[in-house]
Structure 1
């Protein structure tokens, strides 16, 4: 018979898993909806509204001016925000010509690279091989792959580089107050992408219906996922959180199929699967190794 403490723990874990799944679903739904705005605003304008509204929401919630900010923290947050803005812009530019699930999978190579480089063990080469296999499967070697736009894939890879830099700079920015770093970082991101959005979409950015749609994208793609992720982070071990998050490319592919009617070939599903295996493996073994090292200390 299970104890009340065990039952509460299992209940908390179930809530955390549901919260993280809800976070990924909200993000994929928001991104799918954002893609439907490309015809009116372009990827640049859509990114501007998404990041801009996300920044306004977090500025309202955290009011970062209440906290002191050193010059060193300000520089770190500026770099973090610039990387965040570039990542969002490159990712949305990739969505113009390649399916959502593939764009997320290719983008995942960025944090995967950071995870692998943080631990130089022989096992890490297995995850590198899986990731490379996934990318090779996306090369134009058959009729289905040949239809993939190389420019779109390049933008997705650039988003992966931006995500890797976001992780590196985010660790430095995290030394400041968390809410302050996130809200000011997103403000910096909005300043980075706004010139591209204004140059491309112009006065369309001020259209009330499109502003409302941009607010919805900001909520679905940022405010709701970030809030649900905080619920999950409080209740899940980091390794479990990272492994579950690695399923996002598959959820993106399913969202693209259901909402955008993006059909993937068997080869492309295999590519997504290989990258997910690489991400899950790198996350699981990296966390286990760091936990073992901490236990040894």
Structure 2
């Protein structure tokens, strides 16, 4: 860590004899941190805008066809970028990547199915319960029960149990919860695939995800998926929802501590709600905003209090 070393080295030096490099290094570090934060915000914005655009295609392709195009184009892009055949692949890694990709494909499909009847911000918030559960179960400390309580409170506010939420579709909520389970499995299987090269695991995993989602897309949309205009729209969805966010997240991960990264990422449900309002005219009730806030608090709290 050059910045820290320089600071320690010059800390006791007289100001008039040796000019300390702390200020330029501090400014450089601050600019890099700012760049990383902006990259992560841009990543979440791109994902939410891409998902909003994808939802506008449901009338023609359905959630299944839109998912197949998004995942398929994302896989093609990453295959061209990483060329995974250049790296050796053991049988154990291939099995782990296959499970990781299947979970990724199922998660995308279930999430898009939930978007048919559930507003974008609420679907993202409900899906966040998957990784939250993984994080809490891996810790089991007393304070984690507070974050469990926040998440459960948010979910209870969204369940169609009263007049304020009766218009939410229970099937859509079920799909979003199932997507959360898929996200949790994606994390578990992704850790199992961690021994493989990162680019190879991601590109082959997305290829497996495309193989999982393509039959559902073809069964629902048929050959309509392959019309030039819809293929172009699917490419745009793949870029906005996968290629651009993944690239920007890599920029952020290299410059931000994981805890900071996780806390900032916890704001994604709110950004999704704003994107749904701006692009899809999805109006949320005050109770639903409170529910999103409760799940965000649970995610931030779980991340901030986690052990290294």
- Per the shorter chain, which TM-score range? over 0.9
Q: Specify which of 212, 216, 223 is matched with residue 192 of structure 1.
A: 212
**Following the alignment from structure 2 to structure 1, what is the Cα–Cα distance between the partners of residues 305 and 286?**
28
Q: Deviations over 1:97-145 (max 9, x none)?
A: 0100000000000000001011011000000000000001112244330
Match of 2:178 in 1: 158
Match of 2:240 in 1: 220
**Following the alignment from structure 1 to structure 2, what is the Cα–Cα distance between the partners of residues 123 and 76?**
33
User: Which ranges of structure 2 fall in alignment gaps of 5 or more residues?
Assistant: 1-19
Match of 2:16 in 1: none
- Answering whether residue 194 of structure 2 is matched by residue 168 of structure 1, we say no
Alignment of 1:194-209 (within 5 A): 194-209=214-229
Q: Deviations over 1:63-103 (max 9, x none)?
A: 00011100000000000000000000000000000100000
Task: Report the TM-score, using the length of structure 1 for normalisation.
Answer: 0.96
Q: Aligned residue pairs: how many?
A: 288
Match of 1:32 in 2: 52
Match of 1:293 in 2: none
Match of 1:75 in 2: 95
Alignment of 1:1-297 (within 5 A): 3-286=23-306, 289-290=307-308
Q: Deviations over 1:215-267 (max 9, x none)?
A: 00000000000000000000000000000000000000000001000000000
Contact map agreement 2:159 2:173 (CA 8 A) in 1: no
**Following the alignment from structure 1 to structure 2, what is the Cα–Cα distance between the partners of residues 196 and 142?**
34
Q: Superposition RMSD on alpha carbons, in Å?
A: 0.9
Shift of 1:150: 0.2
Q: Deviations over 1:14-52 (max 9, x none)?
A: 000000000000000000000000000000000000000
**Following the alignment from structure 2 to structure 1, what is the Cα–Cα distance between the partners of residues 34 and 223?**
46
Computing the radius of gyration over CA atoms, which structure comes out larger, 1 or 2? 2
Report the secondary structure of 1:174's partner residue.
Answer: helix
Shift of 1:175: 1.1
Task: Report the TM-score, using the length of structure 2 for normalisation.
Answer: 0.92
